[in-house]
Chain A
Amino acid sequence: MIDAALDGPADFAGRRAAARRLVAAKPAPEGVARALAGEAPGLFGAAPPPPPQAGRAAASVPRGFLDLAEVAIRHRDPERFALLYRLLWRLTHGEAGLLQVATDPEVIRAQAMAKAVRRDAHKLHAFLRFRMLETESGTRYIAWFEPDHHILEAETGFFIRRFAGMRWSILTPEASAHWDGEAVRMGPGGRRADAPAEDAQEVLWRAYYAHIFNPARLKPAAMRAEMPKKYWRNLPEAQDIARLMAEAPRRVAEMVERGATPAAARRQRAVVADVEAAMPDLFSQDPAQALAALRAEVLADRGPLAVQATQAVFGEGPIGAALLFVGEQPGDEEDIAGRPFVGPAGRMFNRALEEAGVPREEAYVTNAVKHFKFTPTGRRRLHQTPDAGDITHYRPFLRREVEIVAPRLVVSLGATALRALVGKATAISKVRGEVIRTEDGQPLFPTVHPSYLLRLPDAESKAREYARFVADLKAAWREVQ
């Protein structure tokens, strides 16, 4: 029999050193008892274990075990030492992967211990209540708490980080911790009566607790699962629980019985409506007025795609621009910003436009479909190609937009824009780079959509297609010179 003396109930460092000596000495787990005053039969006077043999490397233990053991050793169960030692023995005797075996009874037990300790610590952080005490040396905050396990010393860090500027003491039956703003001092255990019996703020705190409670949602089991009754006697607000629960049914019944009540005779002051900007004149001959009116109409559109989208995105650019570019639909970034061509494809388009030498003030950009069509997938929105119905819905808007802007040439980017402008599905490859006519008879120059370039898999075809796109933009620009 080998005894290993430890400093305190959660003396992890001491236990670790002893365990290393023990594993090196190779006693089987059955031959080892842990010594701790008041917990195990062996006492401090017992013979220390033999020192490790010279030259022998300390046993290599997986990091996961140390993390587990450091927490589990704070458990109050006297068996914890023997259990952890058995795990250590098995880990170093052919079961290196043992901790991954979540179904192993000893692993389950050790993990349950660690979990109980962590929960105890979490409840300490949550349910500890300080009471303020004015002393000769200044204000001190004092709390009484009854933890289930040996956690106080390990958890003082939490309170130091949170309340570094306060002077505080935490008293428990087993030990106490005192912070003076510089260092923490551990002291002996205390009694409940050692802490102040009340605090002036508790009246307000209890009032808050009572009024944040919704009596129509009584779920006492859910409350007790997270805040077990054993904590109640040290929680000032808990003394109101019984009354709140008892009163709840009557309060709800009264609300229901009363039903709707008449509106207050004097309502709160009515909203001062912002003075609406003068409504644009729908029939104006002035193109700027007409475009503003059309924009307002598009923004107010509540068609099928509007339900999901953030907002409609209208075109941008000068009236009378030489070139009017029509894309497919706003994407994720355009939907949020409310502006066309600001996403990845828009940025590529702008670069190409610059390389082609098209002056920005000669370009008006818009989309065939004015709302972003997508499928929500987790934290992303998956672009959906607009169908014939979507295109049809927005066509009247697009046709009027083109008419008012009155460009010298319309450039369609991609299949959706082409379809919206010529009124039927048309293959881009057959008409790309030619000047054809829109359904309304305007000259139309079809090319690809910049997002097509973004989707190309290899750098070589990307470069080739990008160059071709820039050449198309140059050709379109030449058409209007």
Chain B
Amino acid sequence: MELRRKLEILADAAKYDASCASSGTDKRDSRAGGIGSTEGMGICHAYAPDGRCISLLKVLLTNACVFDCAYCINRATSNVDRARFTVRELVQLTLDFYRRNYIEGLFLSSGIIRSPDYTMEQIVGVARLLREEHGFRGYIHLKTIPDADPGLLAEAGKYADRLSINVELPEEGTLRALAPEKDFAGIRRAMGRMRVRIDEAKEAKRTERRAAAPRFAPAGQSTQMIVGADASDDRAVLGTTSNLYASYGMRRVYFSAYSPIPDASRLLPPVAPPLVREHRLYQADWLLRFYGFGLEEILSGGDGGMLDLGIDPKLAWALRHRGDFPVDVNRAPRERLLRVPGLGTKTVDRLIAARRHRSIRSEDLARLRLPLAKLLPFLVTADHVPRLLDSAGLRALVAPRTGFGKPVQLALL
């Protein structure tokens, strides 16, 4: 099979993985040899018409797979064409793309072939060749196989910037139903083992006892959860997400709206991807991590364990907790300002710095290009006091007029 066709098949096989991050690793460059650099901030080298960033060459080593996960295009009983890169082919392709500044590096995953150890050895082999033989200093993200040998995991962590294992689904029961060969508990244990090694390597670096623990995935670990393939509600999704952040120190938990695949399983017929839900979940995740919201607080903005799809979760919460408003932009502490719809963390910090020098008026907010229609019903400024907080029509006034995007692709189906 010619290389181009392989690349097409193995990119098709990889596109349902949302992650393409290339940030957060240590700084390095090629002035002393090799090729490539990482400078902390990730770079998106292109955007596809699905709005997703293309930062890494994201492919599978092979899409042959002995697992039969219903949601996956590569499952054992799917009719898709199968292909496999040789290790050298993929290394060369990565370098050719990198030299032309198409990519930040490689995100490599694979179908499970033969055994977990064999598969992991192939994945690690690509990274080893890139790093050891070609002095590649760019970014490498490797998928790890839960049951692979600890020695291979150690080697993966030595070469990779980031490692990940996908939890796939928020709940154990549905994972068993849709991905019978996957082991929910085994995935958790593998994440735990990675956390220990990541923490040890970080600690060793911090305390300058560099010999104590070897390099291990300086950009940490991440995971992905498919949303909409099972009946789990947002409470289950966000509950599992919080647990994953707290238990395994995840850098990111990605949500991936279950999307039609060319060769769908009977267990999961193709449906429109729940993109709005995915978006709301990301917003809620942000509120949990950076805005001091608790899980139950966020869910209180919606009903029956689901977020409100029509408005963002902070606004939904605020509309149901009007007693907590108005908040005075010139006096309120940071944690209260963070709860005002339309104010982000950066804006809040800038406003707090500015108000030490002069009091903030509504026109100042306009000059900072903040969404006044959303803000002012909740915010007191030097020349404004909200009057509509108790109004029944407040939601209509602050909700985006068209709803979220009215996604074109929903109408198509």
Task: Give chain A's interface residues, CB within 8 Å of chain B.
Answer: 97-98, 100-103, 105, 108, 122, 125-132, 141, 143, 158, 160-166, 199, 201, 203-205, 207-223, 226-227, 235, 237, 241, 244-245, 248-249, 252-253, 255-256, 258-264, 267-272, 302, 307-308, 310-311, 335-338, 374, 376-381
Contact = CB atoms under 8 A, between A and B. Distances in A.
B247 A126 contact: no
Contacts of A271: 66-67, 112, 181
Contacts of A130: 99-101
Nearest to B194: A336
Contacts of A272: 115
Q: Which 6 A-B pairs have the closest CB atoms?
A: A222-B51, A219-B51, A376-B246, A103-B364, A161-B29, A263-B77
Contacts of A163: 30, 35, 99
A335 B188 CA distance: 10
Given A103-B360, A126-B44, A264-B78, A108 B353 contact: no
B51 A217 contact: yes
A129 B46 CA distance: 11
Contacts of B93: 204
A103 B51 contact: no
B194 to A, nearest CB: 10
Contacts of B45: 126-127
Interface in B378-413: 405, 407-409, 412-413
A108 B53 CA distance: 29
B246 A377 contact: yes
A128 B65 CA distance: 37
B101 A207 contact: no
Interface in B50-90: 50-54, 57-59, 64-68, 76-79, 82
A476 to B, nearest CB: 32
Interface stretch (B5-13, B209-217, B311-319, B320-328): B5-13
Contacts of A260: 264-270
A109 to B, nearest CB: 10
Contact of A245 (B49, B246, B267, B353): B49
Contacts of A267: 68, 76-77
A66 B273 CA distance: 49
Contacts of B357: 97-98, 100-101
Most chain B CB within 10 A, of A158, A256, A302, is at A256
Given A129-B100, A222-B51, A255-B262, A310 B354 contact: no
A336 B44 CA distance: 35
A218 B246 contact: no
B246 to A, nearest CB: 3
A265 B79 CA distance: 9
Contacts of A377: 246
B300 interface: no
Contacts of A131: 100
Given A102-B353, A255-B260, A268-B76, A380 B246 contact: yes
A130 B76 CA distance: 40
A336 B99 contact: no
A161 B30 contact: yes
A336 B192 CA distance: 5
Contacts of B111: 268
A166 to B, nearest CB: 6
7 contacts: A100-B356, A129-B102, A211-B8, A227-B47, A272-B115, A374-B246, A378-B245
B412 A249 contact: yes
B350 A268 contact: no
Interface in B154-201: 172, 181, 185, 188-189, 191-193, 195-196
B367 to A, nearest CB: 6
Contacts of A217: 50-52, 257, 259, 273, 275, 409
A208 B11 contact: yes
B33 interface: yes
A108 B365 CA distance: 12
Contacts of B185: 310-311
Given A100-B356, A211-B7, A214-B15, A256 B101 contact: no
Contacts of B54: 209, 212
Contact of B412 (A103, A253, A311): A253
A165 B33 contact: yes
Contacts of B272: 216, 256
A163 B98 CA distance: 9
A347 to B, nearest CB: 16
Given A165-B30, A218-B49, A260-B266, A102 B408 contact: no
Contacts of A219: 49-51, 275, 407
Interface string B209-231: 00000000000000000000000
Nearest to A250: B412
Given A130-B99, A132-B100, A166-B99, A248 B49 contact: yes
Given A100-B357, A264-B79, 9 more contacts: A101-B357, A102-B354, A216-B409, A218-B408, A260-B266, A267-B76, A308-B247, A311-B188, A376-B245
A223 B47 contact: yes
Given A207-B4, A211-B12, A378-B245, A122 B43 contact: yes
Interface centre among B82, B193, B354 (most CB of A within 10 A): B354
Nearest to B12: A211
Contacts of B196: 336-337
Q: Which of B188, B195, B249, B357 has the largest number of chain A CB atoms within 10 A? A: B357
A165 B4 contact: no
A220 B408 CA distance: 10
B116 to A, nearest CB: 10
Contacts of B257: 217
Contacts of A201: 96-97, 100, 102
A166 B37 CA distance: 13
Given A126-B44, A161-B31, A223-B47, A338 B189 contact: yes
A101 B188 contact: no
B36 A204 contact: no
Contacts of A161: 29-31, 37, 39
A350 to B, nearest CB: 19
A267 B272 CA distance: 27
Nearest to B267: A260
B232 interface: no
Contact of A218 (B76, B195, B409): B409
A253 B66 contact: no
B243 A212 contact: no
Contacts of B96: 201, 204
B206 interface: no
